[in-house]
Structure 1
Amino acid sequence: MSDYLPFEIQITIIKKLPIRALIQFRSVSKSWKSLIDSSDFIANYHFSNAPLQHHVLVRSFDSEHEKYVSIVDDDDNFPQNKIPLIVPSHVRLQLGKFPDIIGSSQGVLFLWFTPSEFVLWNPTIRKTVPIVVPNLLNNNEFETVVGFGVCPGTSDPKLVKITYISSLQFKPEKCIPLQVELFNLSSGSWRSLSMNVPRKSIEVTWKQVCIDKFIYWLAGDRNLAGNTLQTKYLILSFDMITEEFTEIDLPDNLAYLHNDFLLIYKLWTSLLVLDTEFYEIQEYCVWKMDLGVPNTFAKLFVIKSPFESLLLSTVHDFRITGQPIIEMFINNDDKQHAFYVYEPASQEICDIGITGGYPCLANHTLQHCFCLIYRGVEDQDIVIVLKCKCNAKNTQLTP
């Protein structure tokens, strides 16, 4: 083709190819490899292919097995379209360590196995990247958290490591500045951020979401009143492009709750806050941040258990329709878990057919994303390969 078609036309054709074909075409010629590997092509490729397909990734354990299931999140068939996944070999080697799904961004999942071992996993291109985070502290003196996101301008995965004085040692007059380190997958190295770091009194939790170019954490502003530590909770955001932190105030009815009662989520481009203060009466409140008005939150609805035999445990995520996906205890037995979709208007629930102990769930987008293409280790052992058939009204997954 390169002998007969101008390179500009080749570029137009290549941009319309599915991602698995592009990965193969990188081996055809040096010019194609240079084009496909270029930062501009990687950053803009997914914008030329629509629609994106949203999935709910459910991981559950029973007495013998660990199961991963990806559920296509569409209006017509949810939750019938379930696709069992065989986890990548690098993740499979870590089984038994009960990895946490810390977050997802642009089709990449961020998994945490041990105090220093993390894995980036892109199911679309079947690649994983192990990352060791040095000096991840969790002791009486210091606490460390790690945030994750894929920068929309470059499609480069980024980790944000924040270390702060533990609340057990917190004294305003003796606090040292928070230490912030950044890791970009493209460079493979860590660097310190010295300007515009959060205030000394700020503590940061592992509760986080990534929305567009921002990583959001649930954080707290600590203060000593005599010998009593008081914490006012807020949202801490990090702009992956400008590398600046911003504090977002929560309304007082949320800011002064205990950390255990607050959770954060994303719904499309919106930040949601869940208030579980009224767990005893089985009522959870959902709040939405107004992105157009800083520090403004509106109450969306209240989640209530419709049956006495089902006890609310937690909210794992939200469908693209805005319906929360909740975990409940069956017959009030905390060893029997099941997932349901909750309809706020009718207060009805729909069983999505996933049960088992120690469940974990993440909402993610299966999209044409090249993240990890340079450094990823391709898993040849995956039985079911996720592929997108795009440019159709109803995108389908095929093995």
Structure 2
Amino acid sequence: MKQQQQTEAEALPPELVERILLFLPVKSLIRFRCVSKQWLSLISDSRFAKLHYDTADAAPANNNTRVLYLSNKVSEARCIDLEASILSDYALQLPISCRNVPLGILGSCRGFILLRPHVNGTDLILWNPVTGSHKAVPYPVDDPTAPCWTGFDGTNLLWGGLGYDESTDDFFVVVGLGWRSGFEDIRFQWHYFSVRTNSWKEIECGHLPPHFPLNECGVFCNGAIHWLAMKDTAFNDIIVSFDIAGKHLSMMSLPILSFPEMQGCHDWRLKVFGGCLGISYLKKNWKIGLWVMKEYNMESSWTKPNVVLPCDDGMFFLLCFTNGGELVGMQYNTKLIKFNDKGEWADSLAITCDRTDKLMVMFTQSMRSLQD
């Protein structure tokens, strides 16, 4: 029977087989690698993996989006399909070097996640949770165990991000470091790593005023990686961005912070909502607020989306909207909750994930692999 199925599969023209497979979900492709040697070769090819990702990304509704979180009770990663019911999750196999060590997440882009083992001198890990492919990314300095690069105390901060350049088909890891002995003496460095050339380069940032990103994990959107940051001694919040194609840093101001209705709001979080860069926050009454930048890098385009936000009391943090308009968020870092488009409770799932800003990330499934 197996030989008959393989013969029938190989009887189809290769171009037709590829066309059909391009529209299948990742889960099906993983199974179909066993159909025949021809299908295994096609699905494992990097050209096909890129075409498959681009096809799904261009579709009106991309059903490959998942949320991944690192459990704080056991050394494992767990994944949830937000487009389906969120009543259950499943485990993913971490790279060997990341098991049984404390981890952080520094970025996500086109199916890959940037992991940071919290062990002095340990390489960063670029990892595809679907294929298991991973690549060690060393720190851009000769001595990553030096105090200023550990980022484990209150005098410095290490942040990062992951981006992709379509024109060169290259992934870029970006890391920044800030340290201080007080606001009178703030220093910072930025570097980027090209996966294609396997090399680091320092980013020129002398034109920027002193700043400290407020979140370690960068957000990739519109060809750039973004971090919420605090600027200079005035404690002004801004967005620091690194343009992947141009390889330069810049800052965006946040005019919405000056609005009277924003006074007393807190716990700002930078995310992507419906393809737009957005900021969610908690109001003084612990209700959720949301602004999105409708036109990228246009300060005047910051807009309150016309959506019904849940009236859920307590510490609730917005994660994303599904293709069907449902809202998903975290409450008290212990429960994932989905609300329908009317702001009514739909599903929930108890999870173990403290500090979601460092241990949870959205990612889009991809069949792509990297050579270590």
| Residue 351 (structure 1) aligns with | 347
Q: How does 1:174-323 map to 2 (within 5 A)?
A: 178-194=188-204, 199-205=208-214, 206-222=216-232, 229-253=233-257, 261-278=267-284, 281-291=285-295, 294-295=298-299, 296-300=301-305, 303-306=309-312, 311-323=314-326
Matching residue's letter, 2:344? E
Matching residue's letter, 2:272? K
Aligned counterparts of 2:297 and 2:94: Cα–Cα separation in 1: 42
Q: Please state whether the residue corresponding to 1:79 is helix, strand or coil.
A: coil
Aligned counterparts of 1:121 and 1:170: Cα–Cα separation in 2: 36
Q: How does 1:1-399 map to 2 (within 5 A)?
A: 21=33, 36=45, 44=51, 46-48=53-55, 52-59=62-69, 61=71, 65=74, 68-74=77-83, 77-79=84-86, 82=88, 84-90=90-96, 93-97=98-102, 99-114=103-118, 116-133=122-139, 134=141, 135=144, 136-138=149-151, 142-166=156-180, 168-171=181-184, 178-194=188-204, 199-205=208-214, 206-222=216-232, 229-253=233-257, 261-278=267-284, 281-291=285-295, 294-295=298-299, 296-300=301-305, 303-306=309-312, 311-329=314-332, 337-343=334-340, 346-356=342-352, 358=354, 360-368=359-367, 370=368, 372-375=369-372
How far 1:287 moved relative to its partner? 0.8
After superposition, the Cα gap between the structure-2 partners of 1:263 and 1:364, relative to the gap in structure 1 and judged at 3 Å, is same
Say which is worse superposed, 197-206 or 211-220, in terms of deviation.
197-206
Aligned counterparts of 2:189 and 2:76: Cα–Cα separation in 1: 38
Aligned counterparts of 1:263 and 1:105: Cα–Cα separation in 2: 18
How far 1:338 moved relative to its partner? 1.5
What is the aligned-residue identity percentage?
13
How far 1:144 moved relative to its partner? 3.2
Aligned counterparts of 2:104 and 2:327: Cα–Cα separation in 1: 20
Matching residue's letter, 2:161? G
Q: Please state whether the residue corresponding to 2:257 is helix, strand or coil.
A: helix
Cα shift readout 1:220-241 (whole Å, capped 9, x = no counterpart): 221xxxxxx3211111221111
Identify the structure with the greater strand proportion: 1
After superposition, the Cα gap between the structure-2 partners of 1:321 and 1:249, relative to the gap in structure 1 and judged at 3 Å, is farther
Alignment coverage as a number of residue pairs: 330
Per the normalisation by structure 1, the TM-score is: 0.68
After superposition, the Cα gap between the structure-2 partners of 1:192 and 1:361, relative to the gap in structure 1 and judged at 3 Å, is closer
Aligned counterparts of 1:347 and 1:121: Cα–Cα separation in 2: 35
After superposition, the Cα gap between the structure-2 partners of 1:124 and 1:155, relative to the gap in structure 1 and judged at 3 Å, is farther
How far 1:341 moved relative to its partner? 1.4
Aligned counterparts of 2:110 and 2:370: Cα–Cα separation in 1: 14
Matching residue's letter, 2:86? P
How far 1:218 moved relative to its partner? 0.6
Identify the structure with the greater helix proportion: 2
**Is the CA contact (8 Å cut-off) linking 1:106 and 1:365 kept in structure 2?**
yes
How far 1:175 moved relative to its partner? 5.9
**Is the CA contact (8 Å cut-off) linking 1:57 and 1:363 kept in structure 2?**
yes
Aligned counterparts of 2:264 and 2:176: Cα–Cα separation in 1: 21
Say which is worse superposed, 117-126 or 54-63, in terms of deviation.
54-63
Aligned counterparts of 1:257 and 1:199: Cα–Cα separation in 2: 27
Matching residue's letter, 1:319? T
Aligned counterparts of 2:155 and 2:82: Cα–Cα separation in 1: 43
Matching residue's letter, 1:200? P
Cα shift readout 1:193-216 (whole Å, capped 9, x = no counterpart): 23x655132322325211241111
Say which is worse superposed, 291-300 or 183-192, in terms of deviation.
291-300
**Is the CA contact (8 Å cut-off) linking 1:183 and 1:189 kept in structure 2?**
yes
Aligned counterparts of 1:240 and 1:211: Cα–Cα separation in 2: 10
Structural RMSD (CA): 3.9
Per the normalisation by structure 2, the TM-score is: 0.72
Cα shift readout 1:68-117 (whole Å, capped 9, x = no counterpart): 4433333xx4336x5523313426x52352x2233311111122221554
**Is the CA contact (8 Å cut-off) linking 1:159 and 1:182 kept in structure 2?**
yes
Say which is worse superposed, 141-150 or 43-52, in terms of deviation.
43-52
After superposition, the Cα gap between the structure-2 partners of 1:259 and 1:347, relative to the gap in structure 1 and judged at 3 Å, is closer
Cα shift readout 1:338-387 (whole Å, capped 9, x = no counterpart): 211134x633222333334636532221134x2x4322xxxxxxxxxxxx
After superposition, the Cα gap between the structure-2 partners of 1:49 and 1:294, relative to the gap in structure 1 and judged at 3 Å, is closer
After superposition, the Cα gap between the structure-2 partners of 1:283 and 1:141, relative to the gap in structure 1 and judged at 3 Å, is closer
Matching residue's letter, 1:325? V
How far 1:268 moved relative to its partner? 3.6
